[in-house]
Amino acid sequence: MIVRNAWYVAGWAHELSTTPLARRICNDPIVLFRTEEGEVVAMLDACSHRGAPLSRGAVVKCGIRCNYHGLVFNKEGVCVDIPGQDNIPRKARLRVYPLHEKDNMVWIWMGDAEKADPADILDYPIHNDPVNWPTRYEMAPAKSGYLLLVDNLLDATHLAYVHPDSVGGTSPDVHFKAEMDVQRTKDGVRSERTMKNSPAPPAYTNCVPFTGPVDRWQEFDFIAPAVVLQYSGAVLAGESRKTSQQQRFDMRLFHALTPETDTTSFYFWSASNGHAKNDMSATDLIVEEITKAIVEDKAMVEAQQERLSELGEDWLVDNRSDGVRLLMRQAVERMAKEAQEA
């Protein structure tokens, strides 16, 4: 289920430039670019003349030029130049999609333009604080629907099975017995998991040389329809999470799962380093470890998508650990319903 009246991450801010970028979002073929003034634009990626993709074109003074017969469309999608003729038919215009640049990301609204309010976009100030939170920005295309990837993030009981050698560690019990605090939020659901006195998983010890078991926390904030903010970390068991600075693992992950089609997605994620802010190699290490985990997740979720595409979902039986995931799904359904009623 794709909700169109919603903001999705269309790209990292640095991905948009005066070189047009073709990206399919919510099944629509879109060209993303920056005007010469630096403004971001999203437009249907098909010229109104003969359908050629504008992403094969070029950004020019007044907008983007189709490189088939030279038509130019401004940032409102209106054709402003048809070489070789003076009058421009009013129908020569293309759908533009509301875009908003914020926190190093470009957000797109795929539904009714008049309902698009940038004030509804979540805040993620960490992306604007490179001094305290050195950050790297990544993207992985995924052959699964976006909700399966959100499911994956919100049911952490998969960690010891899918990620024994990276972020999970080998003990399922650590995850099943985690203290859980779950709350609905205005836009989704928030869960806090605490795993006291537990072995640090390989991804953590590869980043920080823990000398013993740790107290570990994972916070997941789901904001419908497609973002998960994750705050994970660990300190030596018994130390204070708030104050201890020795042997501290501390990262923020931003996950945005943007539908490409009904069964494929873009997995945008950033990793911000809270424990060694003066050491960029520490951020690189986090990225290396999280990349492993995302490769592992994708392998499982893409295989799951194949089965669900074939067999449907009606026959499936939920677990107790699906609670957070189901609250997430409810939030998305509520959002879809509201969009229809409005």
- State in angstroms the smallest separation of the CB of 271 from a copy of itself: 24
Nearer CB in complex with a copy of itself: 65/216 = 65
Nearer residue to a copy of itself within complex by CB, 262 or 306: 306
Q: How far is the CB of 142 from a copy of itself (least distance, A)?
A: 15
Q: Give 213 or 323: the residue with its C-beta nearer to a copy of itself.
A: 323
Pairwise CA distance, residues 339 & 333, whole Å: 10
Q: Which is nearer to a copy of itself, 73 or 107 (CB)?
A: 73
Footprint of a copy of itself (CB under 8 A): 29, 45-46, 48-53, 56, 65-71, 82-85, 89, 91-92, 151, 155, 157-158, 160-162, 172-173, 176-177, 299-300, 303-304, 306-308, 310-311, 313, 315-321
Burial code of 217-227, b = ≥16 C-beta within 10 A, e = fewer? bbbbbbbbbbb
Minimum CB distance to a copy of itself, residue 177 (Å): 8
Q: How far is the CB of 342 from a copy of itself (least distance, A)?
A: 27
The distance of closest approach from Cβ of residue 154 to a copy of itself in the complex, given in angstroms and rounded to an integer, is 12
CB of 51 to a copy of itself, least distance (A): 4
Which residues lie below 8 Å from residue 51, measured CB to CB, with a gap of 6+? Answer: none
Q: In what order do the strands lie in the sheet with 264-273?
A: 135-142, 264-273, 249-261, 227-236, 214-223, 188-198, 179-184
Q: How far apart are the first and last CA of the chain?
A: 18
- Looking at the Cβ atoms of 89 and 130, the one nearer to a copy of itself is 89
What string of DSSP letters covers 137-159?
EEEEEESS-HHHHHHHHH-GGGH
Q: Shortest CA distance to 24 belongs to which of 10, 7, 3?
A: 10
Question: Rounded to an integer, what distance in angstroms lies between the CA atom of residue 86 and that of residue 81?
Answer: 8
Strands (E), the chain: 7-12, 21-25, 28-34, 40-44, 58-60, 63-65, 72-73, 79-81, 99-102, 105-109, 135-142, 179-184, 188-198, 214-223, 227-236, 249-261, 264-273
Give whichever of 173 and 262 is closer to a copy of itself, judged by the CB atom.
Answer: 173
Least separation in angstroms between residue 1's CB and a copy of itself is: 16
Q: Which is nearer to a copy of itself, 162 or 339 (CB)?
A: 162
